Amino acid sequence: MFELPLYLDLRRRQVDAALARIFEGLGDPGRLIDAMRYSLAAGGKRIRPVLCMAACEAIGGKPEAVLEPACALELIHTYSLIHDDLPAMDDDALRRGQPTCHVAFDEATAILAGDALLTLAFQVLAQPSDDNQPAPEKRTAAIARIARAAGCRGMIEGQMRDIAAEGRPLALDRLAELHGLKTGALITAAVGSGALWGGGDEDQLRALEDYGAKIGLAFQVTDDNLNVEGDPAELGKAVGTDAARSKTTYPSLLGLERSKTLARDLVAEGLQTIAGFDTKADPLRAIARYIVTRRR
């Protein structure tokens, strides 16, 4: 019987060990690298790198073969959190239960730490180890997907729309577009890059990216719900902040119960897209279900 907690723990440890090796290669630490490490080591769920590895596994590859894109995704995700927490953005003092980067260091250091993490991600993608060399066209396609998902037609555009929407009501379809960019794009890129790097074919890639888009939106819907009813001690950050900033959220549009139903429906649709995969995709199935039951 597949046990998700054991799987997540194994993959997190593999990712953390690979991240540690990356930082060892950077030489002697200074204030900048200390700030980068601080935010990376804050105990995140590592969902994006784990999804990357699970997608590679689903198409019959070895999950260890995609540690480079997996680590790059976590570097990009962590940079985005550092910048989201800044006073000019969400002005959050806590992230993952500890002071945010700009609080623990200072605002300028936090900006530069985020910039450095993003740049380091693409250095890692461009220099895969000898053991993890995908076909050049597959590697290029995977890097392009990650860059697009993180950039001005993906996560950053989603953040821009999120800022612009504060205090302004959004229709449900516009909210879905916003979160498809801000949250869903990088999750979709995680499964897509894992499949590509691992050698998946076009049909597999299409199904996995459809899965990623569905669970990426479900992830954000669940985040919205937790901001209403979550436990700050479990979440490691304050709750009620969306309402305080007059943000349009799924619970504010649909009510909490209908919002929870939507998250479950999105997961069910995501699972349907990978119904043709065999038991090697069981980690992806379990992660999808976990997304709507998590408490942090």
Measured over the CA atoms of residue 43, residue 166, residue 219 and residue 114, the dihedral's sign is: negative
Quote the pLDDT of residue 19.
Answer: 96
Residue 237 confidence (pLDDT): 64
Q: What is the average pLDDT across 75-81?
A: 96
Could you report the per-residue pLDDT of 140-189, keeping only the tens digit for each? 999 999 999 999 999 999 999 999 998 888 999 999 999 999 999 999 99
- How much is the pLDDT for 239? 75
pLDDT at 121: 98
pLDDT of residue 45: 84
Percent of the chain with pLDDT over 90: 76
- Report pLDDT for 28: 84
Examine the pLDDT at 295 and tell me if it is beyond 80.
no
Domain with residue 36: its CATH number is: 1.10.600.10
Q: How many structural domains does the chain have?
A: 1
Q: What is the mean pLDDT of residues 43-51?
A: 90
d(CA 206, CA 89): 34
Check pLDDT > 70 for residue 236: no
Given this model, what pLDDT does residue 1 score? 75
Query: Could you tell me which of 97, 104, 102, 98 has the C-alpha nearest to residue 232?
Result: 97
**Pairwise pLDDT comparison (20 vs 135), residue with the higher score:** 20
Inform me whether the pLDDT recorded for 241 exceeds 90. no
Model confidence at 243, pLDDT cuts 50, 70, 90, reads confident
Averaged pLDDT for residues 245-256: 90
Section 202-223 average pLDDT: 95
DSSP tally for the chain: helices H, then strands E: 16, 2
- Residue 234: band (very low, low, confident or very high) from pLDDT cuts 50, 70, 90: low
Q: What angle do CA 44, 225, 252 make, to 5 degrees?
A: 140
Whether pLDDT at 132 is above 70: no
Check residue 235 and give its pLDDT: 63
* Rounded distance between C-alpha atoms, residue 292 and residue 289, angstroms: 6
Provide the domain limits for residue 96: 4-293
Confidence of residue 130 (pLDDT cuts 50, 70, 90): low
Of 107-116, 187-196, 230-239, the least confident: 230-239
CA count, 13 A, side-chain hemisphere, 38: 23
Q: For a pLDDT cut of 70, what percent of the chain falls above it?
A: 97
Q: Would you say residue 135 has pLDDT above 90?
A: no
- Residue 42 pLDDT > 90: no
- Where do we find the tokens 């250091």? 109
